Chain A
């Protein structure tokens, strides 16, 4: 196997004397169109270090990877878990306490180990031409509208939707899902399949984020899409970063988290991750057209962890028939 040594050479950071900060994150964060490159460049200008992203598939994959590697992980920072995974991540005992950074989330969020770096409201995205968009889950269930959603067992937005219904309806969640069953065209394993189906016209609405229309408006100059405002409130996804206890470069990790909370990094977020920044950073033109939910729903990490299994089972029981 002749290519092995060559690959090993390529994978070894060339600048051995400069400290390397390893950031374990999800794939799309590190993509050339994602927030990763700009944030790495900005931080490297301040730290005399090199940022190396280790890319795992998605939030769930980051957590599995940490569990697999345990304290042997070479990662200094893990970035990209969301609130539904935070409690499970905390339970690994791999994360260190961090200095609290202020944030401007619409609901209070304070955690000793995890720092939010962006957030968004889940919402059903539809074409502006859709007549009488529903104003809540019950109106949606009563309508003939067709929706595509994601599977909560394999996708974080899918899990977010299950938590949304649970947070809004509590014990009634099961019956809400039963009523929604005939509106659901299909359930996809990930966000991208569902969004692709919606763009192809397979459904009237897709579960995504209130910020999704901003992508089409800003990147594609297409203002035909919007999101439906639900009066039960909108469930939030909060994405967080944390420092590993076994971080080889703990000071660099602290510095990186501080940089991540600063205006420079935060202003990269809206047009790369298409989410809201966690600190008050200027929003790009186009974001002012997005719907602004009056009420935000978010279960605390402990509540979310306690409810997750039961909420998924309710969802499954209501839809599997």
Chain B
């Protein structure tokens, strides 16, 4: 492992391990009987959500990558939007559409049975379908166009074409997509509880929240976080075992458009767009009326959120790049340490750091830097997931050439690595920025009233009956997150050519 990657690896491990240790030192690690049930439900809902999201993402990504139509680029970027919604806003959007008094129930004349595992899965798929699709689109992008041309000239029937051309690529990209969705759903808390219909839908994250906020049993929270760490690590190792290196290399010539399956592709794209757009439309409709009369606190909070998000995205990308390069060269340690922050939610990291920093500084003085760092850490696993397949590919295609040419150091970074990775770097930075925009876990512990970020202000509004103003502020948040995401994503795609 290069020394840069080693330093990043150590820093990440330290920044995650120190708060866990601080929590454990407070009250000693403990687990309880009720944790078993929470654990089972957490894994079940996360695994099902990952499977369903990815099963739907395969035809969607395939359709999007096979077709060329006006607005396709915009649609690809807009696909990121559900993932950017703060969970509370997304849940309310979903309820507006699918709830007991929602659009569907009203149109159908009877209430849909939303609450329960159905609702949890629906919300998780709504959230993550777009993420899985974007990861798989990268995969389709990586199928050498020679293979597609060959398949076309041999007139391969769809099944053979899938088996010989697309299946190998899916084998490389699908485990990463499944893993990303699984890991996100592992931390699910608001979705699982609000749509789950009762305490049976308790996730480990709720148990952590309870341990930190109500029982003040930091050791219990640390033990639960470590159980989640174990789960996440197993998932990472299993995914790594199934993923195979991709075959072959291409010259990036454009593939010929295909005639087969146009109707099916059109239907898939249409249905997915409606599924994803309806709750977004609900958020828009609810938020618009309140936009004109938003409380003054919203705007400075929005500024702080954007600044924190930009810094988090930069940090996350700076850490993910060396780790992915080292991981692609075979360092399992680098790959695992990039996944490490998955062990801890913002709440766990925040509380641990609070305990460490409290004797040294006033928490308010470090509120935004700590939030920025925590958000960068939380985004690191996803950014690394985005980068890793592409970095592997880059090494496979160009490593020998670069060595032969003696291209190294900054020159290699500038002329080879960055241009070839611009697409996943943009997507990764966009996702990191968006994740940071929606975060509530860390900032809530550190900020005083002059430093609130936008999600915190939304929570305060909603907590004071001002649901309309909260919806308006949520719309501002979504718009800003989406703008940041689109900026990075389009920038990355632009830089790729």
Partner-B contacts on A (CB < 8 A): 1, 3-4, 7-8, 10-12, 27-28, 30-34, 36, 52-58, 60-61, 63-65, 67-69, 72, 74, 88, 146, 151, 153-154, 181, 184-193, 195-197, 199-203, 212, 215-216, 219, 274, 315-316, 319-321
Question: Assuming the A-B contacts A27-B460, A151-B199, A192-B462, are A201 and B365 also in contact, with contact meaning beta carbons closer than 8 angstroms in the complex?
Answer: no
CA distance A235 to B444 in the complex (A): 29
Are B100 and A185 neighbours in the complex by a CB distance under 8 Å?
A: yes
Task: Using CB atoms, name the residue of chain B closest to A26.
Answer: B463
Question: Assuming the A-B contacts A192-B462, A195-B467, A274-B465, are A151 and B448 also in contact, with contact meaning beta carbons closer than 8 angstroms in the complex?
Answer: no
Q: Within 8 Å of chain A (Cβ to Cβ): is B181?
A: no
What size tier do the contact residues of chain B reach?
Answer: 35 or more
Which residues of the other chain, B, contact A216 by a CB distance below 8 angstroms?
465
Are A7 and B365 neighbours in the complex by a CB distance under 8 Å?
A: yes
Residue from A67, A154, A202, A321 having most chain B Cβ neighbours under 10 A:
A202
Which B181-216 residues sit within 8 Å CB-CB of chain A? 189-190, 193-200, 206, 209-210, 212-214, 216
Are B297 and A320 neighbours in the complex by a CB distance under 8 Å?
A: no
CB < 8 Å neighbour of A68 from B37, B194, B355:
B355
Partner-A contacts on B (CB < 8 A): 26, 34, 37, 88, 91-92, 95-96, 99-101, 115, 189-190, 193-200, 206, 209-210, 212-214, 216, 295-297, 351, 354-355, 358-359, 362, 364-369, 444-445, 447-451, 456, 459-467, 470
A210 to chain B, nearest CB (A): 14
- Tally of A-B Cβ pairs under 8 angstroms: 175
Are B358 and A200 neighbours in the complex by a CB distance under 8 Å?
A: no
Are A319 and B200 neighbours in the complex by a CB distance under 8 Å?
A: yes
Which residues of the other chain, B, contact A153 by a CB distance below 8 angstroms?
199, 206, 209-210, 214
Are A321 and B200 neighbours in the complex by a CB distance under 8 Å?
A: yes
Known: A88-B216, A202-B100. 11 other contacts (CB 8 A): A52-B448, A53-B448, A68-B351, A69-B358, A154-B193, A154-B206, A154-B209, A185-B100, A192-B467, A196-B92, A320-B199
Are B194 and A200 neighbours in the complex by a CB distance under 8 Å?
A: no
CA distance A184 to B99 in the complex (A): 14
Are B460 and A193 neighbours in the complex by a CB distance under 8 Å?
A: no
CA distance A240 to B206 in the complex (A): 26
Which residues of the other chain, B, contact A151 by a CB distance below 8 angstroms?
193, 199, 206
Which residues of the other chain, B, contact A185 by a CB distance below 8 angstroms?
100, 115, 197
Task: Using CB atoms, name the residue of chain A closest to B368.
Answer: A7
CA distance A31 to B447 in the complex (A): 13
30 contacts between A and B (CB under 8 A): A1-B369, A7-B366, A7-B367, A27-B444, A27-B456, A27-B459, A31-B464, A33-B295, A53-B448, A54-B364, A54-B448, A56-B444, A61-B213, A64-B213, A151-B193, A184-B197, A186-B115, A186-B193, A186-B194, A186-B198, A187-B199, A189-B206, A189-B209, A196-B462, A199-B467, A200-B92, A200-B96, A315-B199, A319-B198, A320-B37
